[in-house]
Structure 1
Amino acid sequence: MNHSQLRTRFTGGYEAKAECQAEVDEVYAALAQLVHAVDVGEVAFAENATRAYDYLLHTVTVNSHALKDAVHADAPVTPSERALIGRDSVLITTACEYGSNYTALLQVSNRTGASLRCVRKESSGVLSLAHLQELLEECGDRVALVSLCWVPTNGGLVQPAAEVGALCKKYNVLYLLDACQAVGQIDVDVQHLQCDALVTTARKFLRGPRGMGFMYVRRGSVFARAEPIFLDLATATLRKPTPQRSQGSRTDVLGISGPTGTALSGLVESGLSDGDKTNVELQLGEKDVFDTDPRPARRYENWERNYAAWLGLGEAARYALSIGLPKIEQRVRFLGGMLRSTLNAIDIKYRVVSRSAEHSAVPSQNIEMPEEAREESAVQVMCLGEAHLQCGIVSFVVNGLSATQVKDTLSETYAVKVSVSPFTSTFRDMNERGLCDVVRASVHYFNTEQEVRYFAECVRQIAEDANHP
């Protein structure tokens, strides 16, 4: 990556890109291997996961709900098949959908009149597969899309993405999967997941550069056959239409080869008279055409990109592959479970006092109302999901402190870096649970058990200072 930046600085962007073209192409192979794609044409560059998600969602929005009958077919999409998602259409998501994705779904719903349905949770917080099946049965052909955030950003939950894929295939429904927090910590196999498209970023558990991501599009899916909502010179080839001229009862077709057509002067050899050439000129001026890239995912790329970051993404993918994703997943799950256990074991309590409900309605200020007191843990882990299926994201709160205060204290006092997951990042879930922002700690395979214990001790001390000053 640094080498590419230096070459750009001293030789120019075009020259640097040309010099490293082989390396650029190798990134596709690494990404295809990373997610178990069938071929390199099924993976493509994206500026980030959100833009990839928006690109795919809005493409099928303007292309076709009517196409759902051919979701798993291989026939090309034709203009006659196109129909806007309308008032009768249904989009399905979950309460743990990422905020940006949820916003995009709301936008499509508002623009088209399509209804947005949310799958209920099980008691553990994971989505209910039974309820998803009920929705698919109830809504039938009106279901245009199922959108799933595999690993929500605000905790350790891992949704049953493969089981959702099996249901989508059974009911012939388009399936869009956000794998931002999954790629790099979970062994991702798109064949097993049966998703039609997957989007992710470079910078999270894959540990690549910021401002870079990629997408997977399954060959034969509607995403692979629909015309992308945006096209440029990287994904569409401009050409002149094939002109026709009549000679008596016979029509001769004059083919014009090449992306920009063939000069009219070159047609003299075909035996055209000056009058014929004039007619051809007029026909060529009627309407130019373009051909889209036939590769499933590459048709969603654009011409301009950060090639240094792209090469960095490739290096990150190869590094993860060299360690082995099954090994990484096992290690991350172990450390995540260890961190949750050590945080839950922090034995600092605070007293919660509330007035009895049966006395709270007494209006007189002179009547002494009894109080009910209980003790709660000063540190509370807020992760959803069954323990044995949780991942390396660990979210928690500390009584008496905001998530930002905890983050800043960990950084400034203990040199430990965490982030804050705001309530808007998983808007519906956080509102359903009555949560504001939460502290998010993410362990990875390179962390040690000693570091996990040190982190828990830092949090214990912060909680002690906040609740027993």
Structure 2
Amino acid sequence: MNSLSPEHIRQLRAATPGCAQVIHFNHAGASLPSQATLDAMLEQLHREAREGPMEAAGHGALIQERARQAAARLLNTSSAAIAFASSGSAAWGMAFNALGPWRAGDRILLGRHEWGGNLACMAPAVSAGARLEVIPCDSQGAVSVAALEQLLDARVRLIALTWLPANGGLINPAEAVGELARARQIPYFIDAGQALGQLPCDVQALQCDVLKGAGRKYLRGPRGTALLYVRPEFLQRLDPGPRDVLSAPWDGQAFPLREDARRFETSEVSLVLLAGLEAALSQLNAIGVDAIRQRIDGLSRRIRLGLDAIPGLQRQDLGSEQRQSGLIAFTLPDWDAFELKQRLARQGINIGANGVAYTPLDMQARGLTSIARISVSHLNTEEEADLLLQALRELAEPNTRA
């Protein structure tokens, strides 16, 4: 496995304007874009201003194709299996709604850590009579594959898994779940929002039918972009709506759906945003996700050890200590997570804070009302980690809230 050298890290940080302005540990919310990503967006924006937005669309089509190929390389699939969307939630919702109609007795199996937006998308299915059933957790708090196997029967119409939950370091066993789903021919959706760009994401190994993730997180792309993977053999089972001249083009007699994942796209799209996403994906592929994963692992261990030494602070991570993501959840006595986030921001340090709505089933099961969240990137340094830990040590001391 190739690793990122200190010199390479310095170069990457120098090419990222935000690194000179702030200590950023909120990459799971949105990461810092590179100057190359900003330049790609500005170039397309200026082209549209010079030539006209519609007239510049020809070049934009080339950008779209390069972005699709870069996404396909990242996921180990073909470009025909990739669609772009405005957000991860929009992508997941379109795919879920295309599975319908839902009927009484249908079962949807999901992890306790499911993203709140995905749960909201399932509400109409529940109203139609489908049942949401939570897969029991194992001793580490992850989805239990053995328990899942016992739940499977002919009424299960979907297995949904949030691979890396938003409220902590858990990495769910996505590949093992995929083996069960494929063996029983049950549709399998993965929310990879926090995984894309942080973990290797090989859809062939995952054996999923649908996978989605936002561009703004570890992919370091612009807000308003997302990837949607649809397994080509599964595509015919999905009937999306609404449709337009791109997703269902006129063939001279009717409006048949496209035979690729772009049946989930519309003709109206921001080529400026896709130019930024293409640049970000290309940079990510050039660095290599394995090297990024190795870097995040090392920094995350350093921070977790430091947090454990702060009196009163409680880490709220689930999962095996030997295999956790770069998302680190914690609570600090007498501090509201959102207030803590604001206090650190005044010191030039960005972290995240999550309420119950983000992961309602898991937060309620654990009696948590909010968590503070550190999310580590390969762009972060040991010095930044130490400054964050020092700031938290000071805030953990009595009489520091003034």
TM-score bucket (shorter structure): 0.7 to 0.9
Match runs of 1:55-204 below 5 Å: 55-62=94-101, 85-110=102-127, 112-136=128-152, 140-204=153-217
**Alignment partner for residue 388 of structure 2, among 455, 458, 461?**
455
Q: Letter of the aligned partner of 2:224 in structure 1?
A: G
Distance 1:225 1:141 in 2: 17
Structure 1 residue 239: deviation in Å?
Answer: 4.4
State the superposition RMSD in angstroms.
1.5
1:385 aligned residue: 319
CA contact (8 A) 1:90 1:114 kept: yes
Higher relative contact order, chain-length normalized (CA < 8 Å, sep 6+):
2
1:236 aligned residue: 248
Distance 1:162 1:239 in 2: 40
1:34 aligned residue: 74
2:363 aligned residue: 430
2:233 partner SS: coil
Off by >6 Å, runs of 4+ in structure 1? none
**Alignment partner for residue 90 of structure 2, among 41, 51, 65?**
51
2:59 aligned residue: 19
Distance 1:30 1:229 in 2: 26
CA contact (8 A) 2:82 2:227 kept: yes
Structure 1 residue 438: deviation in Å?
Answer: 0.9
1:20 partner SS: helix
Structure 1 residue 316: deviation in Å?
Answer: 0.8
Distance 2:341 2:401 in 1: 19
5+ residue gaps, structure 1, are 63-84, 242-288, 349-377
1:144 partner SS: strand
Structure 1 residue 407: deviation in Å?
Answer: 0.5
Match runs of 1:217-256 below 5 Å: 217-221=230-234, 223-241=235-253
2:255 aligned residue: 290
Distance 1:462 1:8 in 2: 49
1:232-252: CA deviation from partner (whole Å, max 9, x where unpaired): 1111122454xxxxxxxxxxx
Change (3 A) 1:467 1:384: farther
Distance 1:462 1:194 in 2: 45
CA contact (8 A) 1:419 1:441 kept: yes
Structure 1 residue 61: deviation in Å?
Answer: 1.5
CA contact (8 A) 2:95 2:238 kept: no
5+ residue gaps, structure 2, are 1-40
2:372 aligned residue: 439
State TM-score, norm by structure 1: 0.75
CA contact (8 A) 1:97 1:426 kept: yes
Distance 1:181 1:422 in 2: 17
CA contact (8 A) 2:353 2:373 kept: yes
CA contact (8 A) 1:380 1:397 kept: yes
CA contact (8 A) 2:317 2:330 kept: yes
2:274 aligned residue: 310
The aligned length equals 362
1:187 partner SS: coil
1:304-350: CA deviation from partner (whole Å, max 9, x where unpaired): 1111111111111111111111111111122122211110111x2xx
1:213 aligned residue: 226
Q: Letter of the aligned partner of 1:29 in structure 2?
A: Q
Distance 1:101 1:466 in 2: 41
Distance 1:407 1:227 in 2: 42
1:399 aligned residue: 333
Distance 2:350 2:218 in 1: 15
Change (3 A) 1:219 1:16: same
1:237 partner SS: coil
Distance 1:13 1:142 in 2: 49
1:182-212: CA deviation from partner (whole Å, max 9, x where unpaired): 0011111000000001011100011110011
Change (3 A) 1:101 1:301: same
Structure 1 residue 468: deviation in Å?
Answer: 10
CA contact (8 A) 2:110 2:161 kept: yes
Distance 1:339 1:151 in 2: 19
